[in-house]
Amino acid sequence: MAGPPLLDRRLLIVTGKGGVGRSSVAAALALLGARRGLRVLVCEVNAQERVAPLLGAAPSGPEVRPAIPGVWTVDVTPEAAMREYGLMVLRYRTIYEAVFENRVVRYFLRVVPSLSELVMLGKILHEARAEERGRPRWDLIIVDAPATGHAVQLLRTPGALLDTVPAGPLRRDAQWMRDLLLDPAHTAVALVTLPEEMPVNEAIELDEQLRVVVGIPRGYLVVNAVPEPRFTAAERTALEAAGTEPPPLGAAARAAALQGLRAELAARQVARVRAAIDLPVLVLPLLAAARWDRAAVERLADACDQGGAPWARSP
């Protein structure tokens, strides 16, 4: 079985608990898109840039820059996005500078946090609907979104503004942004988790929030870094017994027994999250990579391409 259709929506938002592998999954999916001949843009959101370096390229900073053939990256910061938005609305740099680089306005922007979120999201969604020579500028935009609570805050900004802001340009922007974000033909969220108790709890809560609070189309669940189950229950019992043998057998048997235990605990969490979240699931393997670099991300992309780890695909 081929696994979930990963790249069928133009806008793919990758989120999940901190540290679960959002940037790695975003980078792997970008590679996969490039392998399939797509023009891919990866947007990080005001982050310590990870994706371009993971692909073996220099960080792009706040401008869209080519990272590798087929993949461009950008780190969307509130300052740069605000500047672009201001220039778009006000049209002239001198007016922009007079208005936006004024100390009072800068203070205002800092204390109205949803405004920075709105302009960052605006920058991303602007790229998502940009056209060049009559066709979309990007075939695929992958957002390496912030972790759980911050992602919800970011994604619900247009909706929240629509509830509060009166008619005017800000409201019109919030409207088209929300329409694009909530359009299932256009947008999907990839929810990433690890096969561990706390990340799974957080994924279940996040999924509920994405559904109820944001209303955004959820595309699929990625369970990342799942250890391969190598041993049957009988083999694990035998390994435990062999653990008391003299070296080198005893030490090897104990290490193998531990690996078996970890794989079993992880499999339980995979089953738990599958049962709790009603989405197509992609299980990605825990990779024994000495360095977490382009080569590791290529292997992760291979696994995505094959519909997940071979030993974990749905029957």
Ligand X SMILES: Nc1ncnc2c1ncn2[C@@H]1O[C@H](COP(=O)(O)OP(=O)(O)OP(=O)(O)O)[C@@H](O)[C@H]1O
- For the bound state, the minimum distance from the C-beta of residue 179 to ligand X, rounded and expressed in Å, comes to 28
Reduced to 3 states (helix: H, G, I; strand: E, B; else coil), residue 178 is helix
Residue 284 parent element (H or E): strand 281-285
Find the part of the chain contacting ligand X (CB under 6 A) among 64-72, 172-180, 269-277, 279-287: 279-287
Nearer Cβ to ligand X (194/253): 194
Output the DSSP codes for 56-120: TS---TTS-EEEETTEEEEEE-HHHHHHHHHHHHH--HHHHHHHHTSHHHHHHHHH-HHHHHHHH
The token pair that represents 262 in the structure block: 């970890």
- Phi first, then psi, for residue 71 (nearest 5°) are -125, 125
Give the one entry of ligand X, Mg ion, none that residue 286 binds, where binding means its C-beta sits below a cut-off of 5 to 8 angstroms depending on kind: ligand X
Q: How far apart are CA 310 and CA 114, in angstroms?
A: 43
For ligand X, which stretch binds (CB under 6 A), given 59-67, 108-116, 253-261, 286-294? 286-294
x/- map, 212-251, ligand X, by CB under 6 A: ------------xx--------------------------
User: What separation in angstroms does the CA of 13 have from each of 128, 252, 256?
Assistant: 12, 42, 37
| Helices 113-129, 148-164: inter-axial angle, 10-degree rounding | 90
Q: Which of Mg ion, ligand X, none interacts with 253 (beta carbon under 5 to 8 A by kind)?
A: none
Nearer to Mg ion, 9 or 22 (CB): 22
**Interatomic CA distance for residues 301 and 54, integer angstroms:** 12
Among 38, 147, 182, 204, binds ligand X (CB under 6 A): 147
Interface with ligand X includes 292 (CB under 6 A)?
Answer: yes
Partner whose binding site includes residue 178, from ligand X, Mg ion, none (CB under 5 to 8 Å by kind): none
Q: Which residues between 17 and 36 bind ligand X (CB under 6 A)?
A: 18-24
> What is the rounded distance in angstroms from the CA atom of residue 289 to the CA atom of residue 298?
11
Part of the chain binding ligand X (CB under 6 A), chosen from 14-22, 100-108, 166-174, 175-183: 14-22
- Write out the residues near ligand X by the rule CB under 6 A: 18-24, 50, 147, 224-225, 284, 286-287, 292, 300
